[in-house]
Structure 1
């Protein structure tokens, strides 16, 4: 079985390579290909990913390529993780939003729309190629942000393969809670409903025993997990349901905006500066001594800069440090640390379940199909699903609190309009999409934003 990663030259490629390698036997992989159109990045981050994979799974063929056709030919599984426009695009998205005094976070509101307007056309071109040259039963796992919006666009474009949107925020929250209560990740599960980066987690189970109240009453919840961005009183107002960390941008939008305006750099500028510095050092090292011959030192440069990114996550928006500060480790230590079902874990769970090995519960973005009765069946939602050889079925949730229901409905209206606007290059629908989004909520601002982003310039 062949797995192809579109965007294999990204900064997170070494982690994705490790996760795939650790789970390769579970899904009978014989070939892995990392594809990227940026040869420089592929020959830098992709090289590190190649060494990670070859140390862990030397018997499996692993290739790096810029050739889309060869990469996708006969692929059984495809992961998309691309950033069209690179870090420069992200920075511009943020700065234009801030000019209008609205949040430009890359996956929510206008920042997410700008990113989607670049991501969706590029992804759909890959989808056409997948239909032409990949396996007839190929499965697409979309990691490209904004994941839910991109996944909905893929489905509504008429793509005739299975597609699932994957985000690591819910699974990362499970890992944080598992560490907090000192249990293994596999022992703990939670319910999830909503949209990508706009979801709630109403219950937790440990070995099929409900532990929701135990976790809610633990003061460490607001110190050692992403719930640190919220106050206990807010959780009570939300019917004692745990919040996806990205809901911070909705319930603390004024605080986040003010913090960003007072910060020396936006998050995009910060990431760009770190990545530029890291890439320069790695390229200089590669020129002096090939990365292939100096992987330990190359990984040290890579990982130290990566930690700088990770350990400063959400700091400029919330003025709070990350709950768990990751330590610096060597290449050998990185390889030795057990994989915690990270980036590829959910995809592997889905593949195993579809093969009929055992039913699994996963959190993915899929068509609603009645799971949330206040949304349309063809809306894409982020929700707990039961995966088996019969397919993937979303869990149906009733009695959703009105506050959650209203916000989900409002943002879903934006998502429908946004997908339609991007698929049909419709400027008026783009303006309407931003106008109804809670983080813009203004016709005049929405119209000005679309003009400043220079989106759909050839339409009225």
Structure 2
């Protein structure tokens, strides 16, 4: 298969290449096309990627190009992993909401709305090019945040697309290690929206081991997601780290105001990575790449690509159309649950009814997501304000007004209508 990676100049890319070399038996790739508008970064990343493939004896041909049409031409699958505005835009998302006492985060709350407005139009434009030049049955695998909103944009526009996040596979790996089993022996009861999910069961051999984990490792689990033990004990589930922005908003806001932004940390790591990539003697994934984030990123991508090729029949967590799985949401909304690939489409595994508190929060965030997509596709301050006000971390009209003005001031270079 030919795999095209849009945003191939990302410092993440060698993590993908490492996965392709380690897991070559799971996925046969003949050609990898790295596509990026930043020719300097693309040159460095493609250089180390080629050296890694050569070192591993992987037969795939790697090409690097700034030409989107050439890169996606005849591709079997296209992975999108871009960040509009780079780390500077991310740092903006993480800071201006503080002026109105809201958390700053690139996928959740006001910052997440800003990222959606910047990202959706570009991804839709890229997808149109994929539809025209890739193979007729090519799939788009979206890693670009906010994954739920971006994936729904793609599906609403009629593209063959699935969204992917590394939160679930991270939990699967950690639970497997705790239980002393292989990762694929663990099936998660993972449910929610992208970056708003809960692990409701951890099944091994048909038996749910989550109650045992919560009882015996409560302190460790709570520490991992940085939430109170009492909360996990009462919920009886393990929330993802991103629930901390809701369950501990004020604590997180205090931390953000007194610590360097994540964007600043990542920017420094990226500069070090690019220096390493420039060294032509380096032909392995640098250890520092683990600090960049995205643990198990390559494994998650390979699993989904293998599913599409008919090489993996295990249920994997993806972002896909609801289609009645969560009956309180519209069918066309995008949810994040385990699913299987039937040869033509991803089909969600059955989902048990959610408790009232979880259902309420999912409903509220889903309402915001729908308004956010409307604003991203059609533009306008009024649509942006309505989406901002609908987010559960905002709600107050005056606060939403101020946040909308801050968002527009920080993002005018990226918004044609602003």
Question: Which bin holds the TM-score, normalised by the shorter protein?
Answer: over 0.9
Please state if 1:303 is matched with 2:290: no
Structural RMSD (CA):
2.3
Residue by residue over 1:197-235, the C-alpha shift from the partner in whole angstroms, topping out at 9 and shown as x without a partner, is 00111111112222122212122x532686441222112
Query: What SS class does the counterpart of residue 71 from structure 2 fall into?
Result: helix
Instruction: Tell me the SS of whatever aligns to 2:327.
Output: coil
For 2:348 and 2:200, how far apart are their aligned partners in 1?
16
Q: 1:348 to 1:12 in 2, by over 3 A?
A: closer
Write the mapping of 1:205-284 to structure 2, written as runs, cut at 5 A: 205-219=203-217, 221-223=218-220, 227-238=224-235, 240-263=236-259, 265-279=260-274, 281-282=275-276
1:65 and 2:65 matched: yes
- TM-score normalised by L of structure 1: 0.84
Aligned residues between the structures: 414
CA contact (8 A) 1:9 1:35 kept: yes
Find 2:393's aligned residue among 416, 433, 439.
439
Alignment of 1:310-321 (within 5 A): 310=293
- Residues 222 and 232, structure 2, Cα contact 8 Å, conserved in 1: no
- Kept in 1: contact 2:33–2:64 (CA 8 A): yes
Tell me by how many angstroms 1:417 deviates. 0.1
What is the alpha-carbon distance in structure 1 between the residues aligned to residue 290 and residue 303 of structure 2? 28
| Cα distance change of structure 1 residues 458 and 190 upon mapping to structure 2, 3 Å threshold | closer
Structure of higher RCO (CA pairs closer than 8 Å, 6+ residues apart): 2
Structure 1 residue 309, shift from structure 2 partner: 4.4
Confirm or deny: 8 A CA contact 2:148 2:334 kept in the other structure: yes
Question: Residue 253 of structure 1: CA displacement?
Answer: 0.5
Query: Closer, same or farther in 2 for the Cα pair 1:459/1:390, shift >3 Å?
Result: closer
**What SS is found at the alignment partner of 1:269?**
helix
1:430 deviation in Å?
1.2
Q: Output the CA distance in 2 between the equivalents of 1:224 and 1:193.
A: 18
Matched, 1:47 2:47: yes
Does 1:107 find its partner at 2:107?
yes
* Shift, 1:142, TM fit: 0.2
Cα drift, residue 354 of structure 1: 4.2
Aligned residue among 379, 382, 386 for 2:340: 386
**Within-5 A mapping of 1:417-436:** 417-436=371-390
Q: Cα deviations across residues 169-214 of structure 1 (Å, max 9, x unaligned)?
A: 1110111111122221121111111100001111111122221222
Listed one character per residue, the Cα deviations across residues 221-255 of structure 1 (whole Å, up to 9, x for unaligned) are 532686441222112332x1111111111101010
TM-score scaled by length of structure 2: 0.92
1:36-435 mapped onto 2 (5 Å cutoff): 36-156=36-156, 158-160=157-159, 162-219=160-217, 221-223=218-220, 227-238=224-235, 240-263=236-259, 265-279=260-274, 281-282=275-276, 286=278, 291-292=279-280, 294-295=281-282, 302-304=286-288, 306-310=289-293, 342-357=296-311, 359-389=313-343, 391-435=345-389
